Structure formats: C-alpha cells, structure tokens
Amino acid sequence: MPDKMPIAVLISGSGTNLQALIDASTDPDFGCRIVGVISDRPGAAGIERAGKAGIRSTVVAWEDHDDRAAFTSAVCDAADELGAHALVLAGFMRILSEEAVVRYPSRIINIHPSLLPKFPGARAVEQALESEDEVTGVTIHFVDELVDNGPIIAQAVVPIEADDDVDTLHGRIQATEHELFPTVISAFGRGDIALVDGAAVWDPPQGVLITS
Ligand code: GRF
C-alpha cells in the first residue's frame, strides 16, 4: 500500500471536526495520516482529543507572536517539524498570511459553516439565521491568500428550520461537517482532488457526496 499523505490538523477550539478525522483515520482506506495537531490556543479541547488518540500536538499561541507574519511562519515551521505535507484547517480561527500558501501550495484545506461565497467570516451561522434564506450549509475549500475564498472542493446543504437558534443550526451544520470533511480529506490524501487552473477537480469525477 502506498504511503498515506501526512497531514497536520489546525484547530482553535472543541475539535469535533478533528475528532471526526481521527475516527475516520482508523479505517485502513483513509487517505491521510494525521501526524500532528497545531492549536493557536493552549486550552483548546481538541488538544486533549489528540492526546487520547496518541497524536502529537503543538501550541503556536497567537499572543506569543508580534504579528500575523511571525505567527504564520511559526505555524508553518511547526507543520514542517511534524513532517506534514498538507494543512487541514478544522475550526482554526486565525487567518494565515500569504507565506502559508507559498510554503504549502494547493495543500491547505479549510472547512466553513456556510455555502460560500455566502457568509464568509466568523459569524456565518448567525448571518444565515438573520437572513431570509431557507438553507445554509458547509463548504470545504482550498485556502488562498484571501479569507474563506479559495476554490471550492465540496459543499453540502443544511436546511434552516423556523425555530432554529444558533446552537441548533450549528449543531445540524456540524453533523454534516463530520460526515463530509473526512470523506473529502481522505480523497485529497489519495490524490483524487487536484487544483487545476484555479479550480478544484475530482478525478475520478465525484457525484453528490452528501444529501440533506
Ligand atoms: C466548525 O463549524 C467549522 O466549520 C468552523 O468552526 C467550527 C469548528 O468546530 N470553522 P470544531 O472545533 O471542529 O468542533
């Protein structure tokens, strides 16, 4: 069996998406090997999840760095140190500077709780609730130098119910994330997803990954 792609998973908080990746990675067919977890917050619950799974974790605290450039360099250095080939942003709430895209070209993937380009940024779930929209969803995309902007790899629709609040809607979005993210990351590790002329291309072509 060919070597699995070594990935570093970047987190800031509870790490439920990290957990979904950890759980999926026990499948021999999973396309990636999680070589480490990098957190910008020392107290992130995801660090404990990594520890329980026997995965190395490193804290690169935002506060320890003078600016975004220095923070980004330290994150990339930590990922290099772990032997990562790609960075998987799983609820990582910091914006990396361009150096990350230069050092990990076409090899950074982010998950976002909306149907991008709708509702980029940190208030995606709140903004979906405030909108008149009947659906929102999940987007998994390659990271470029702009925020929540790179080529879209996969999306899934999540209905907005009349009695939803932020917690119920985010809970439903996260249930979808936990299904879609491992599927996409595994496929990426197997080499089934490439960035061609600025677009994410599945080879073999992929139909609907998930339906609501
Ligand atoms: C997820 O909803 C993700 O889309 C967003 O932040 C949340 C992280 O949740 N970027 P968790 O830490 O994986 O539980």
Give the domain ranges of the chain: 1-105, 111-212
pLDDT in tens, the chain (212 residues): 568 999 999 999 999 999 999 999 999 999 999 999 999 999 999 999 999 999 999 999 999 999 999 999 999 999 999 999 999 999 999 999 999 999 999 999 999 999 999 999 999 999 999 999 999 999 999 999 889 999 999 999 999 999 999 999 999 999 999 999 999 999 999 999 999 999 999 998 887 787 76
Does the Cβ of 37 fall within 6 Å of ligand 1? no
**From 65, 85, 112, 178, active-site residue:** 112
CA 132 – CA 4 distance, rounded (Å): 43
Hey, do 1-105 and 111-212 end up sharing a CATH topology, with the first three levels equal? yes
- The pLDDT value recorded for residue 3 is 87
Q: Which atom of ligand 1 is nearest to the CA of 111?
A: 4
Residue 178, SS3 per DSSP = helix
Specify the residue for token string 């994410």: 200
The pair of structure tokens assigned to 181 is: 């993210």
Report CA-CA distances (Å) from 23 to 1, 50, 67, 206. Answer: 20, 11, 35, 23
Q: Which of 16, 118, 173 to mutate to test the pocket of ligand 1 (most atoms within 8 A of CB)?
A: 16
Superfamily of domain 111-212: Formyl transferase, N-terminal domain (3.40.50.170)
pLDDT tens per residue across span 170-200 = 999 999 999 999 999 999 999 999 999 999 9
Whether 112 sits among the annotated catalytic residues: the reply is yes
H helices within 89-191, ranges in order?
98-103, 124-130, 166-190
Q: Which atom of ligand 1 is nearest to the CA of 89?
A: 10
CB-based contact 134:159 (threshold 8 Å): yes
Rounded distance from Cα 21 to ligand 1 centre (Å)? 13
110 strand-pairing partners? 89, 141
Residue 118, SS3 per DSSP = coil
CA 178 – CA 175 distance, rounded (Å): 5
Residue 87 burial (10 A CB sphere; 0-12, 13-18, 19+): buried
127: which residues sit within 8 A by CB, 6+ positions away?
114, 119
Q: How many CB atoms sit inside 10 A of residue 92's CB?
A: 25
CA 30 – CA 34 distance, rounded (Å): 10
Atom 7 of ligand 1, nearest CA residue: 91
Atom 3 of ligand 1, nearest CA residue: 91
Does the Cβ of 148 fall within 6 Å of ligand 1? no
Is domain 1-105 classified as CATH 3.30.70.20?
no
What rounded mean pLDDT belongs to the chain? 96
